[in-house]
């Protein structure tokens, strides 16, 4: 069995940055394939099935945002770390809304990229547990990292699953955005509270009007038992209507 932790596709058109990312990811044990434009990347990702994607936003041809949208629309939930040269909050939030798992702004430390990638992959694969989390009709299977509501399967990103699990382990307890960033993302010092807000909005869309997720003004978020309600296909699939 291959001992490498898996293939990472790096989609980056700046050769110097791509070479640096390849060097550090290879040192960390990953297989790495570098692609320089979005059109070629889409074909490589669909063929090679990587464990994760490091995706530059500004690409020739299909840009990173559109590439992510196409993958998520195809029900491909491979973890994605976005990379961009611009510290643009709107761009970052759009990337997260479309299903991005993390976000780095150039220039960044390649060691931080490797650390972020490992955190995202831990979230994606999880730590096996014999105990499900049950809250009303919501069931979170920690072994398979699958979620169902009223018997219907939900499609969640790795980050969404961990955020929902974290809230559901302590129903009724109010968590601040800072607590959620630290416990779920693992690096609260880099991200704004808006990152949490976007993922909460995504969870509410997928769980429906009776999601049970409460906003406590000026504090943060809590979850109570969700109330089963009719879901749209778009919400169940994980592709927000705003992204279609």
Say if residue 225's pLDDT is above 90: no
Residue that finishes a domain, picked among 81, 109, 125: 125
- Is residue 100 located within the same domain as residue 138? no
Dihedral sign of CA atoms 38, 39, 41, 46 in order: positive
Domain enclosing residue 90, as ranges: 7-125
Say if residue 236's pLDDT is above 70: no
- Is residue 116 located within the same domain as residue 139? no
Whole-number Å distance between alpha carbons of 22 and 16: 10
**23 falls in which pLDDT band (50, 70, 90)?**
very high
Across 8-12, 147-151, 161-165, 207-211, least confident range: 207-211
**24 falls in which pLDDT band (50, 70, 90)?**
very high
Residue 61 DSSP code: S
- Is residue 144 located within the same domain as residue 172? yes
This prediction's pTM: 0.60
In the prediction, which pLDDT does 227 show?
Answer: 58
- Is residue 142 located within the same domain as residue 225? yes
Identify whether 1 is part of a domain: no
- Is residue 29 located within the same domain as residue 115? yes
Instruction: Provide mean pLDDT across the span 30-46.
Output: 92
- Is residue 82 located within the same domain as residue 53? yes
- Is residue 120 located within the same domain as residue 188? no
Identify whether 212 is part of a domain: yes
- Is residue 175 located within the same domain as residue 113? no
Identify whether 164 is part of a domain: yes
Q: Please report, for the domain that includes residue 145, its CATH number.
A: 1.10.10.10
Q: Please report, for the domain that includes residue 73, its CATH number.
A: 3.40.50.2300
pLDDT tens-digit map of 72-129: 888 888 999 998 877 666 677 777 777 888 888 888 899 999 988 988 888 776 554 5
In the prediction, which pLDDT does 220 show?
Answer: 92
Across 66-70, 193-197, 235-239, least confident range: 235-239
Whole-number Å distance between alpha carbons of 107 and 27: 20
- The answer to whether the peptide bond before residue 186 is cis (omega within 30 degrees of 0) is no
Whole-number Å distance between alpha carbons of 202 and 161: 11
- Is residue 31 located within the same domain as residue 88? yes
Identify whether 153 is part of a domain: yes
């Amino acid at each position: 069995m291959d001992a490498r932790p898996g293939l990472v596709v790096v989609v980056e058109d700046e050769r110097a940055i791509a070479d640096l990312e390849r060097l550090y990811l290879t040192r960390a044990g990953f297989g790495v394939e570098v692609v320089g434009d979005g059109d070629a990347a889409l074909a490589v990702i669909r063929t090679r099935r990587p464990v994760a994607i490091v995706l530059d936003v500004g690409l020739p041809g299909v840009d990173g945002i559109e590439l992510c949208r196409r993958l998520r629309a195809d029900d491909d939930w491979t973890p994605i770390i976005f990379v961009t040269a611009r510290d643009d909050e709107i761009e970052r939030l759009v990337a997260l809304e479309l299903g991005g798992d993390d976000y780095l702004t150039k220039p960044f430390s390649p060691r931080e990229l490797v650390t972020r990638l490992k955190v995202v992959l831990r979230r994606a694969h999880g730590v096996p547990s014999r105990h499900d989390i049950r809250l009303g009709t919501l069931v979170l299977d920690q072994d398979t990292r699958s979620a169902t509501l009223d018997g219907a399967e939900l499609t969640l990103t790795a980050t969404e699953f961990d955020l929902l699990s974290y809230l559901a382990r302590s129903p009724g307890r109010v968590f601040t955005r800072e607590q959620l960033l630290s416990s779920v993302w693992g690096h609260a010092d880099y991200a704004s509270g808006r990152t949490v807000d976007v993922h909460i909005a995504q969870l509410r869309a997928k769980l429906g009007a009776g999601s049970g997720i409460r906003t406590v003004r000026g504090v943060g978020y809590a979850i109570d038992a969700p109330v089963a309600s009719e879901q749209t296909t778009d919400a169940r699939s994980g592709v927000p209507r705003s992204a279609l």
